[in-house]
Amino acid sequence: MARATRATAATATTRQSTRRSSRLNNQEIKNNAVVEIQQRPKRARKPIGSSSSLLEGGVSMLLGNFTECRRKADELDARSASLSKREDEARTLMQGIVIRESKATLAQLEEHFTCPLCYEIMAQPYSLNPGQCGHTFCALCILRHFFSRLHRACGGWHESVDCPMCRSLLVITPDRTPRLDITFPFVPNRTAAAMCESMIEKLSQSTASSSLVVKREESEGRWPGSECDMEWGRKKGKSKEEEEMEEENADLAGWREGGNTRTEWLKKDRQGKEEMTDLLRRWTSMRSQEFVNLKQRLGV
């Protein structure tokens, strides 16, 4: 019993000493924290004047950036104006070159491929057979000349038909059928036809491309806020030089794609080809009344 009592008393004493040491440790930690907090240096408050100086510095920086942006915008405006001027000069130069080439082409057409009967550019050129004279005419023009000598009463030719230029006589058309193909009085001039088609096509393409415009994207249309504030590659109206150029070259405008002169030439060329093809196909077996009907259709 005495030993058990002594053990219990020792255990109680150990517990009390442990509690005391823990309380002392906690008190020491609190004291150290308080001392540490008291020893921390206090932050110095910024004076009021320092924030205002910082604001002024930011404003001056923004003004400097704005001035620099404005200067760059002015430089870009000057460059765009210079480029626009160069584009106008290049456009004028290109228009001059195209117009000179078109005039030269039209002069060649008028000099070498003008029909002696209608005084226009030959449409579906045909020469007379036999080709003793070598003159060439529009298909419709030479058909009208040939059938003008046809007698309406009998539907036949009682005299030879001559060339309207050199008066070379053609073979008289036989009244009896079937006729020989060699008696057909016309021969297609394919060389002249190819030259006329090539030059007229060149005229249509050159006059259509004479108004050269530099293409830009829609986003490149304007410089917002600039002094020039101009449109790139676009013009609201035509300049005085362009109007004078168009007036001086009005004869070339008719040969443009969809122009009146070109449209009339294509129509005449198509009609001449149809009439000649139909006449050649039926030549050997055509009767007098059929000749008279063709003469009325041609309006002779």
Domain membership of residue 109 (yes or no) is yes
Domain membership of residue 287 (yes or no) is yes
What integer pLDDT is reported at residue 227 of this predicted model? 44
In the predicted structure, residue 181 carries a pLDDT above the cut 60: yes
**Mean pLDDT value across the chain:** 78
In the predicted structure, residue 270 carries a pLDDT above the cut 90: yes
Total of domains in the chain: 1
In the predicted structure, residue 127 carries a pLDDT above the cut 50: yes
Per residue in 152-174, pLDDT tens?
888 888 777 889 998 888 888 88
How large a percentage of the chain has pLDDT more than 70? Answer: 68
How large a percentage of the chain has pLDDT more than 90? Answer: 32
Structure tokens at 168: 């070379």
Structure tokens at 53: 């100086």
Domain membership of residue 232 (yes or no) is no
Per residue in 12-40, pLDDT tens?
566 665 666 666 566 666 666 555 555 55
In the predicted structure, residue 178 carries a pLDDT above the cut 70: yes
Domain membership of residue 230 (yes or no) is no
What integer pLDDT is reported at residue 22 of this predicted model? 60
Q: Give backbone dihedrals phi and psi of 204, rounded to 5 degrees, phi first.
A: -65, -40
Q: Give backbone dihedrals phi and psi of 222, rounded to 5 degrees, phi first.
A: -140, 155
In the predicted structure, residue 144 carries a pLDDT above the cut 90: yes
Domain membership of residue 260 (yes or no) is yes
Structure tokens at 52: 């205002």
Domain membership of residue 56 (yes or no) is no
Per residue in 207-241, pLDDT tens?
555 544 444 444 444 444 444 444 444 444 566 66
Q: Which residue range(s) make up the domain with 142? A: 99-212+248-300
Per residue in 59-72, pLDDT tens?
778 887 888 888 88
In the predicted structure, residue 86 carries a pLDDT above the cut 70: yes
What integer pLDDT is reported at residue 265 of this predicted model? 96
Query: In angstroms, rounded to a whole number, what is the distance separating the alpha carbons of residues 291 and 282?
Result: 11
Domain membership of residue 185 (yes or no) is yes
CATH number of the domain that residue 182 is part of: 3.30.40.10
Domain membership of residue 84 (yes or no) is no
Query: In angstroms, rounded to a whole number, what is the distance separating the alpha carbons of residues 271 and 124?
Result: 9
Long-range contacts, 234-242 (Cβ 8 Å, 24+): 241/92, 242/95
Average pLDDT for 111-131: 91
What integer pLDDT is reported at residue 193 of this predicted model? 95
